[in-house]
Structure 1
Amino acid sequence: MSAMIGFGAQPRAVYAVQPLESKGRLVPEADSPTRTPFQRDRDRVIHSSAFRRLKHKTQVFLYHEGDLHRTRLTHTIEVSQIARSIARALSVDEDLAEALALSHDLGHTPFGHAGERALDDLMQPYGGFDHNAQSLRVVTELERHYADYDGLNLSWETLEGLVKHNGPLTDREGNGIGHYADGLPFGIRVYAEQQDLMLWSHASIEAQAAAVADDIAYNTHDIDDGLRAGLISLDDLNDVPLAGEALREVRTRYPGLEEPRVVHEIVRRLITRLVEDVIKTSMANLERIAPGDVEAVRRAGETIVCFSEDMAKAEAGIKRFLFERVYRDPHVMQVMGNAEQVLRDLFTYHMTGPETLPQEWRYGLDDCDQEVFARRVADYVAGMTDRFAILEHLRLFDVTPDLR
């Protein structure tokens, strides 16, 4: 790779991904004289249509339920900030960590996991639906803006991190493991035929930083949104790991402080403690494993960027609380059940024939088999925003479920 100007050299540890040693892109491109490969990847993600659509995609609450609730976009920005902080502390490539954080949710359907459940069920005869695999499809195929290729033609390291940020997907023989024990989802399986992303190995430190940043962001901010929505109260946090301790600390230090400020103080303390624990634990892991380069990280056989054992237990306690009191709240469940029906109706309608799709989505459908057509319909429906899906349902059907 040629020498680049315009960006300051930042100190990077030997185990970091080195931008000058990138494995390149599927479609070769000339180097940029002013940006590293990972800075270009980050910029391409930000300028993509899929990234803009995150503005009106559900995190937990639908976009119209409150202006201050998180959307997929605001959640993604928050994950990015935390990922950069962790990457900086570990002396790895912040731009790669940021690119991964910004792209990790591009494959989410409208209405969050409710939409994913509906599409996965509908697509079972055709290979199922998985939002992580869909993120890969978005950046390698579905973004259709560039003259020379479909997708964003991101660097190997960004694609690797996007697919493997939660750990290896296969064993050395290519058999799915963990969540994918029954087989790799469609998008990942198909792309693996074009480019080897070493699915059997762990991802880079940068990708691991983005993954744990996602956990930190949604755990802490879903508490905030749950309080704003009135699903939980401050007193409900008393017995929640970390949150109860933060609540008592704030009330002791600031007696009589109004509730919005109390909530903010709790959330910022939670983020700080979780991030500091990850950094401390990860540095200890790096010292113990002593990887000499990024390949040693990939072959370490364990996740390096993670919570300590005690913090992992506390974080799991926060997850349980949110699952019981927020994600499975009867009102939230009712709204999400209705949202699933909207997705089912839209998918079923468009499965009646290619003519139901917009013109730009009909390319290559002449004489295609049912599986190819179903995947095209799933791609189209998955790319909708909450708002567009609701408006389309109102246009196409006499009765639309209540999503409020």
Structure 2
Amino acid sequence: MRYTREQLLELEDRALAPYAMRAAATRGREHPEPESAYRTPFQKDRDRVLHTTAFRRLEYKTQVFVNYEGDYYRTRLTHTLEVAQVARSLARALGLNEDLAEVVRQRHDLGHPPFGHAGEQVLAELMADHGGFDHNKQSLRIVTWLERRYPGFRGLNLTWEVREGIVKHETVYDLPSAEGYEPQLRPTLEAQIVNLADEIAYNAHDLDDGLRSGLLEPRMLAEVELLAELARELDLDLERLGEFDRRVFIRELLGWMITDVIEATDAAIARANVRTLEDVRRHPEALAGYSAAMAERMAELRRFLYTRLYRHYHIVRQVAKARHVLERLFAAYTRTPEMLPPTVQQAAEEEELFRAVCDYMAGMTDRYALEEYARLFDPYGR
């Protein structure tokens, strides 16, 4: 038996909670085009993002550890896939649209430059007098302008709700500017849970990578009440945490956080008497969130990761190297644009040199940026 798009939309309508976003109710695409015969609009969007050059490049972009540090650490690509899994789990438990949650998650990190948040900070500083740089806006720029895959328009021509989810992505570290996408209103619950899925995944998996690398020692976990309590619950000795025990610990930590979000968000929806998508959008605060107790514990975990991992001298050295590489590349390209590839030179003529250079550098992987640095500044480089 096969299912047409119309049948899939009917199944979706019957299965979802009344406040979920239905693909049949999308505000549509900027450029009219026929929909797929056997995919909903959000499924089509997911597939379009998956096949972009920008998505493939995430494989060699930093999450915490630069690509050359080893093959076992998270990259932007594996982080994106892990967040998508968390988002789908949250969406399914809350009766939300899994396809929308997945595609909103897939596209979020497309705009990240090489070397993680260090790279974003450097580009933001270098572009301060030329329109600025923000990875959320860069993600939107990629899917609406930079990717060229269709003859009738630039970009991917994604649905309005997916684009809204891009510009309204919000975490402790990312505060959005939603100009042009009803900034006075909340995004869909699907977009809201992606914000939480992002934080859940990077807290758990950065902790995992920190332990694997040796930059974090298991005994340090006792400094965080959430982690100490989980160790007691699992009867694990943090003085002798082996590899298998570490895997169990991280898996159960994810489970604790996901369960808390599901239960806390469901309770918030009930308290607010939310019955429609319009209720979600007009609610003064985000409905998706942690319980009060978990929110405090997550804040403590973030502080722990910042002081113990992200500010570890080894990571600080990586950040300093990244800054040096990107600053020198940017200066060389803008001073001598003739050394840029022809496609980038053409983009500079069509728009503006600094923005073209920024787009080019933001699209680089860690490996490509380091190779380009060697080509330009190593006297023996080819």
Q: 1: distance between equivalents of 2:71 and 2:138?
A: 27
SS at match of 1:351: helix
Deviation at 1:199, TM superposition (A): 1.8
> Is the contact made by 1:25 and 1:154 (CA closer than 8 Å) also made in structure 2?
yes
Deviation at 1:373, TM superposition (A): 1.4
User: Structure 1: where are the runs of 5+ without partners?
Assistant: 168-177
Which moved further from structure 2: 68-77 or 120-129? 120-129
Q: 2: distance between equivalents of 1:352 and 1:325?
A: 39
Aligned pair partner of 1:112 in 112, 116, 132: 116
1:241 and 2:235 equivalent?
Answer: no
1:64-102 superposed Cα distances (whole Å, 9 cap, x missing partner): 102110000000000000000000011010000000111
Number of residues paired by the alignment? 373
Q: 2: distance between equivalents of 1:8 and 1:268?
A: 35
1:4 and 2:3 equivalent?
Answer: no
Aligned pair partner of 1:78 in 78, 82, 97: 82
1:306 and 2:289 equivalent?
Answer: yes
After TM superposition, which residue ranges in structure 1, 4 or more long, deviate above 6 angstroms?
254-258
Q: 2: distance between equivalents of 1:100 and 1:358?
A: 31
Aligned pair partner of 2:198 in 203, 214, 227: 214
> Is the contact made by 2:108 and 2:136 (CA closer than 8 Å) also made in structure 1?
yes
Deviation at 1:166, TM superposition (A): 1.8
**Match of residue 373 from structure 1:** 353
1:397 and 2:381 equivalent?
Answer: no
1:37 and 2:17 equivalent?
Answer: no
Q: 2: distance between equivalents of 1:274 and 1:106?
A: 25
Amino acid corresponding to residue 353 of structure 2 in structure 1: F
Amino acid corresponding to residue 338 of structure 1 in structure 2: K
Q: 1: distance between equivalents of 2:207 and 2:142?
A: 30
Deviation at 1:255, TM superposition (A): 11
TM-score scaled by length of structure 1: 0.88
SS at match of 1:26: coil
* Percent identity (aligned): 45
Q: 1: distance between equivalents of 2:345 and 2:184?
A: 36
Q: Which has the higher helix share?
A: 2
**Match of residue 184 from structure 2:** 200
Deviation at 1:229, TM superposition (A): 1.1
Q: 2: distance between equivalents of 1:275 and 1:316?
A: 16
User: Structure 2: where are the runs of 5+ without partners?
Assistant: none
Q: 1: distance between equivalents of 2:282 and 2:370?
A: 46
Amino acid corresponding to residue 337 of structure 1 in structure 2: A
Deviation at 1:5, TM superposition (A): 4.2
> Is the contact made by 1:108 and 1:131 (CA closer than 8 Å) also made in structure 2?
yes
**Match of residue 226 from structure 1:** 210
SS at match of 1:348: helix
Q: 1: distance between equivalents of 2:317 and 2:251?
A: 31
1:66 and 2:70 equivalent?
Answer: yes
SS at match of 1:212: helix
Q: 1: distance between equivalents of 2:290 and 2:150?
A: 40
Amino acid corresponding to residue 296 of structure 1 in structure 2: D
**Change beyond 3 A, Cα 1:146–1:323:** same
> Is the contact made by 2:219 and 2:239 (CA closer than 8 Å) also made in structure 1?
no
**Match of residue 145 from structure 2:** 141
TM-score scaled by length of structure 2: 0.93
Which moved further from structure 2: 388-397 or 331-340? 331-340
The 5-angstrom pairing of residues 239-388 of structure 1 reads: 239-252=223-236, 259-366=242-349, 372-388=352-368
**Change beyond 3 A, Cα 1:232–1:147:** same
